[in-house]
Structure 1
Amino acid sequence: LWELYPGHPNLLPAYLDGPRELAGPDGAGYVAKPLLGREGAGVTVHEPGSAPVLRDEPCCYQELAPLPDFAGNRVVLGAWVVEDEAAGLGIRESAGLVTDEYARFLPHVIL
């Protein structure tokens, strides 16, 4: 989506061929997410200024955007849309930077 809508305020820069400008001395930092990953498995976090690291497996390299910390908890909201209508919301809460299979999950249905 980033390459279709570069600079869109609701998107983070993301690339399939490497971290590009996200790495290096002036980079914002990035995460490398395996294309076949599940629930945070294999996600690596690269802090701002870190050197670029290309992985052997296909990955999405996305700008680092740490979630806010609320008393040691980081919350991610996941929305489901079906045929242009809101259908549900999942709230996942984790202590780490990467939301993984140990995250607490609370589903919501939108009627």
Structure 2
Amino acid sequence: MLTYKGGQTVGKGTYWDLASGRRVDVTSEAVLAGGTATYVRMSAGVMLLSGPLIGLLYTILMPFIGIASLAALAARSGLGGLYNLAAKSVSFGWRPINAYLSGRKKRNVRR
């Protein structure tokens, strides 16, 4: 198990609270502080190496994230305009006050 909650009894090791960045070194068996805190058991070397790797991954994926964001914005803008145009042009002739239980009233057509 790599993830621990606050209040759990844990063995020897280094535990990281990723939400606050707090590091807890346990030399023997101890109870982790914080009722809602989540800790990850990870050595300091792995934690230090993961930072540059996450940064590299972010740098590589950033152009794709930007392109996807622009495409989503353009699609939302274009489809929103089409939706508004369709909503304005379609009329069902429905009025919530009128029931039309006996059908619509016929207009008198004079010839």
Q: Same fold (TM over 0.5)?
A: no
When normalised by structure 2's length, the TM-score is 0.37
When normalised by structure 1's length, the TM-score is 0.37
| Rg larger for | 2
Which structure is higher in helix share? Answer: 2
Which structure is higher in strand share? Answer: 1
